[in-house]
């Protein structure tokens, strides 16, 4: 009987302890568990608000730490806050409050005999802020990768400049190292890690194009004293110079050269609009497209879109021009050869040359012929001007004839013609001759009183002369 009483007493004791423990735990639910530390600072049994204030102090202390960043023999110092390091106090506090064990026995043991538990600060780096702050430094360290480049020297020798690897700062690794050092070091020190970047076009890529010599060349001349027109020719030619076309790739003059605007560097010069000459931005660039047209014909390429001018032009034979107008008339051709092509433009004081380079094994002996098949005489437009004397004429615009022209491409081998290809027919409008003429002379019959009506006028004139 006595033993039963003792057993009941023990059970009652443990029940009392458990009830008391859970009452204490409920009362302390908003307190940090005993033995909790953050960055070596004890938070044991602090109220949530107190713990939050302590964590804010810890965060501020860390953010004010001076970090040294190094690369080779150079170093730079910033506060962690300047570098975009942030401490998530709310998340750290949540982890600290969750530090309790779920085992009942363990909970009781820990309450009476606390175990030290270090809570890791929740930290992050604002990558964009870090990159903005360090951008001037990155610029002194980084260099972009450069592509291998094919160029043609003045002596027409082909030169390939090798590609070069680039370097850039590994921002992801920098952020990781910075966070790790920020937690473990009073004065963090981090070295920039560098990663290599690679060129889009390597030396092997360019050599694989098999561009080994000149296939064709064509030159036209212009008046270099016409400054605006010369500038327009140079501007358009630069857009084409150095272009590489892959097999099957189509070239579009308008797409490559772009819209002719003042911002693009174009100036007003003569253009043909509505079968007459007028000034507009980009005047003269048809000479670039025309020179290119003849060069690709000599390279055994065929245009997929080509238009002749509406009026005859003088810098190439009739039938061999290629007119362009933004968003209206384009000049296009496709690289139908098995290898890559390289376009080179040269603009001198009074000439433009377009050269086509590729595999010289594709070069052919080609002749372009053109001839006039019809001459269209100009009309004469007369306009009466009452200010002119009867029978008087003034020439306003000299007329010019129109033409129909035909062209062909002749391909030869060892001087023998093996193929003739008809090229598109060209039609050029005539320009009407414009003349202003005086009114026709009319002789009116005199009436019955005509003599009498004239006599006073005669007397009046005699009176004026005498006076």
pLDDT tens for the chain, 467 residues: list them: 555 554 555 544 555 544 444 444 444 457 888 888 877 777 788 888 887 788 888 888 888 889 999 999 999 999 989 999 988 888 777 888 885 544 555 555 555 556 778 887 888 899 999 999 999 999 999 999 999 999 999 999 999 999 999 999 999 999 999 989 888 888 899 999 999 999 999 999 999 999 999 999 999 999 999 999 999 999 999 999 999 999 999 999 999 999 999 999 999 999 988 888 889 999 999 999 999 999 999 999 999 999 999 999 999 999 999 999 998 999 999 999 999 999 999 999 999 999 999 999 999 999 999 999 999 999 999 888 888 888 888 998 888 999 999 999 999 999 899 999 999 999 999 998 998 998 987 665 554 443 344 444 433 333 333 33
Instruction: Return the closest-CA partner of residue 257 out of 280, 230, 237, 277.
Output: 237
Residue 296 lies in a domain: yes
Distance CA 357, CA 343 (A): 6
Q: Is the dihedral of CA 274, 275, 280, 281 positive or negative?
A: positive
Query: What's the pLDDT score for residue 94?
Result: 85
Residue 137 lies in a domain: no
Residue 244 lies in a domain: yes
Distance CA 177, CA 189 (A): 9
Count of domains forming the chain: 2
Query: What's the pLDDT score for residue 41?
Result: 77
Q: Which domain holds residue 8?
A: 1-25
Task: Look at the chain and count its residues.
Answer: 467
Distance CA 179, CA 121 (A): 10
Distance CA 383, CA 434 (A): 8
Q: Which residues contact 252 (CB under 8 A, 6 or more apart)?
A: 330, 331, 332
Q: Is the dihedral of CA 170, 173, 174, 175 positive or negative?
A: positive
* Extended strands (E) in 246-391: 250-252, 268-273, 276-281, 303-305, 332-334, 341-347, 351-358, 365-376, 380-384
99: exposed, middle or buried (Cβ count in 10 Å: 0-12, 13-18, 19+):
middle
Which residues, listed in sequence order, are joined to residue 411 by a DSSP beta bridge? 366, 419
Residue 344 lies in a domain: yes
How would you classify the pairing of strands 36-38 and 117-119? parallel
Query: What's the pLDDT score for residue 110?
Result: 56
Query: What's the pLDDT score for residue 153?
Result: 95
Q: Which residues contact 419 (CB under 8 A, 6 or more apart)?
A: 410, 411
Instruction: Return the closest-CA partner of residue 84 out of 21, 151, 129.
Output: 129
Residue 61 lies in a domain: no
CB 55 within 8 A of CB 93: yes
Per DSSP, the three-state class of 462 is: helix
Task: Give the residue ranges of DSSP H helices in 78-124.
Answer: 89-97, 104-112
CB 31 within 8 A of CB 38: no
Instruction: Return the closest-CA partner of residue 392 out of 434, 438, 435, 433.
Output: 438
Residue 397 lies in a domain: no
Query: What's the pLDDT score for residue 43?
Result: 77
Query: What's the pLDDT score for residue 280?
Result: 93
Query: What's the pLDDT score for residue 464?
Result: 34
Residue 374 lies in a domain: no
DSSP string, 314-333: SSS-TT-----BTTTB--EE
Instruction: Return the closest-CA partner of residue 288 out of 358, 228, 240, 341.
Output: 240
Residue 203 lies in a domain: no
Helices 227-240 + 286-298 axis angle, to 10: 40
Q: Which residues contact 16 (CB under 8 A, 6 or more apart)?
A: none
**∠ CA 432-430-275, rounded to 5°:** 85
Instruction: Tell me the Ramachandran region of residue 23: left when phi exceeds 0, alpha when psi lies from -120 to 50, beta otherwise.
Output: alpha
Distance CA 407, CA 410 (A): 10
291: exposed, middle or buried (Cβ count in 10 Å: 0-12, 13-18, 19+):
buried
Query: What's the pLDDT score for residue 7?
Result: 53
């Amino acid at each position: 009987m006595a033993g039963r009483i003792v057993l009941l007493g023990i059970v009652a004791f443990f029940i009392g302890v458990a009830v008391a423990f859970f009452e204490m735990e409920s009362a302390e639910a908003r307190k940090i568990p005993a033995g909790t530390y953050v960055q070596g600072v004890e938070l044991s049994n602090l109220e949530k608000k107190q713990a939050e204030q302590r964590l804010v102090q810890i965060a501020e202390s860390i953010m004010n730490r001076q970090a040294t960043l190094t690369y080779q023999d150079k170093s730079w110092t910033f506060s962690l806050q300047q570098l975009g390091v942030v401490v998530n106090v709310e998340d750290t506090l949540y982890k600290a409050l969750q530090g309790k064990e779920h085992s009942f026995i363990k909970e009781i043991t820990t309450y009476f005999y606390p175990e030290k538990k270090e809570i890791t600060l929740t930290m992050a780096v604002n990558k964009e802020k870090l990159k903005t702050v360090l951008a001037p430094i990155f610029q002194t360290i980084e260099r972009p990768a450069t592509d291998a480049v094919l160029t043609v020297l003045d002596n027409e020798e082909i030169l390939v400049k090798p590609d070069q690897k680039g370097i850039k700062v590994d921002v992801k690794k920098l952020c990781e190292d910075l966070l790790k050092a920020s937690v473990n070091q009073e004065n963090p020190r981090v070295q920039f890690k560098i990663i290599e970047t690679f060129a889009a076009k390597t030396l092997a890529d360019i050599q694989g194009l098999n561009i080994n010599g000149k296939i064709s060349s064509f030159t036209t001349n212009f008046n270099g004293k016409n400054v605006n027109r010369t500038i327009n020719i140079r501007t358009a030619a630069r857009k084409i110079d150095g272009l590489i076309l892959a097999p099957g790739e189509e070239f579009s003059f308008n797409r490559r050269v772009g819209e002719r605007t003042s911002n693009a560097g174009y100036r007003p010069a003569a253009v043909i609009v509505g079968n007459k000459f007028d000034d507009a931005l980009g005047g003269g660039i048809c000479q670039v497209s025309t020179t290119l047209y003849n060069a690709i014909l000599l390279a055994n390429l065929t245009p997929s879109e080509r238009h002749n001018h509406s009026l005859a032009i003088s810098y190439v034979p009739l039938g061999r021009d290629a007119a362009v107008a933004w968003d209206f008339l384009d000049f296009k051709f496709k690289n139908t050869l098995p290898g890559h092509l390289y376009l080179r433009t040269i603009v001198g004081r009074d000439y433009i040359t377009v050269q086509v380079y590729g595999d010289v094994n594709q070069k052919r002996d080609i002749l372009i012929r053109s001839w006039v098949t019809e001459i269209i005489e100009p009309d004469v437009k007369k306009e009466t001007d009452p200010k002119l004397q009867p029978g008087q004429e003034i020439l306003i615009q000299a007329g010019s004839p129109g033409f129909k022209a035909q062209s062909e491409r002749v391909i030869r081998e060892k001087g023998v013609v093996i193929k003739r290809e008809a090229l598109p027919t060209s039609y050029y409008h005539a320009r009407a001759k414009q003349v202003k003429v005086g009114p026709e002379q009319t002789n009116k019959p005199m009436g019955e009183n005509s003599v009498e009506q004239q006599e006073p006028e005669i007397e009046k004139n005699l009176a004026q002369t005498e006076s």
